[in-house]
Amino acid sequence: MAKYHKYVFDEKDRRLIGAFEDMYKAEDTEGFDSWQSLNVRHLRHRLALEILDDYNFSSVLEVGCGKGSMTQFLKKANNRVLGIDISPTAIEKAKASHPHIEFRAMDAMSVDTLDETFDLTAVMTVLAYVEDWRSLIAKVANISQFGMFVEYVPENPIGMVKSLEDLEMEIARHFDISTKLCLNDRYLITFGRRIGAGHADDGD
């Protein structure tokens, strides 16, 4: 078991712990990289970025950005990118590593308080840790023209998302899914335009 798992799930009692701030604080003293996030070669991330490569979004939000390892690839020369995460320590690490990107410490469920809209919102392996993940998808749809969702749902999950089918159906309630990939029957990658969004500003 990876060293950071004890901060995320109690596998014996099968419950979410979600001590993410403690986890990021412990990285340096206990010698681990949460979720191996610094390894940007994960196939799920490479595929997500490949899907987005055909677009040039002028404004991007990443929800649950952690230390900004993926956020850096959403930044282009001519766009604005905002990364948010519930852990202030993760955000400080992100700012130190990627000073050209804007980061804020805030709860994912508070995205509707940003009082702005984005061309794209990316939510990558976050929903399993959000109790009301369905509401988060709806909030993302309210502030975004496009949505990119990447989620891991293991067999007999402890996390809040219990099946890939439920996840896909919920995303499809709010987004017209144009691209869907399923990896090893465990990872779901979806990309699409918010239902009802216009076609004038594709970001192409």
Rounded-to-integer distance, Cα 64 and Cα 40, Å? 16
Dump pLDDT digits (tens) for 80-132: 999 999 999 999 999 999 999 999 999 999 999 999 999 999 999 999 999 99
Instruction: State the residue for tokens 């023209």.
Output: 145
What is the C-alpha separation between 200 and 48, in angstroms, rounded?
A: 24
Residue 200 has what pLDDT?
45
What does the pLDDT look like over 63-72, one tens digit per residue? 999 999 999 9
Q: What is the pTM of this model?
A: 0.94
Looking at the chain, which runs of residues are DSSP E strands? 9-10, 15-16, 59-63, 80-85, 102-105, 118-124, 144-152, 175-183, 187-194
Distance CA 144, CA 31 (A): 37
Closest-CA residue to 61 (of 115, 16, 23): 115
CB of 17 closer than 8 Å to CB of 156: no
Q: Domains in the chain and their CATH numbers?
A: 41-194 (3.40.50.150)
**CA gap 144, 120 in Å, rounded:** 6
| Tens of pLDDT, residues 27-71 | 999 999 999 998 888 899 899 999 999 899 999 999 999 999 999
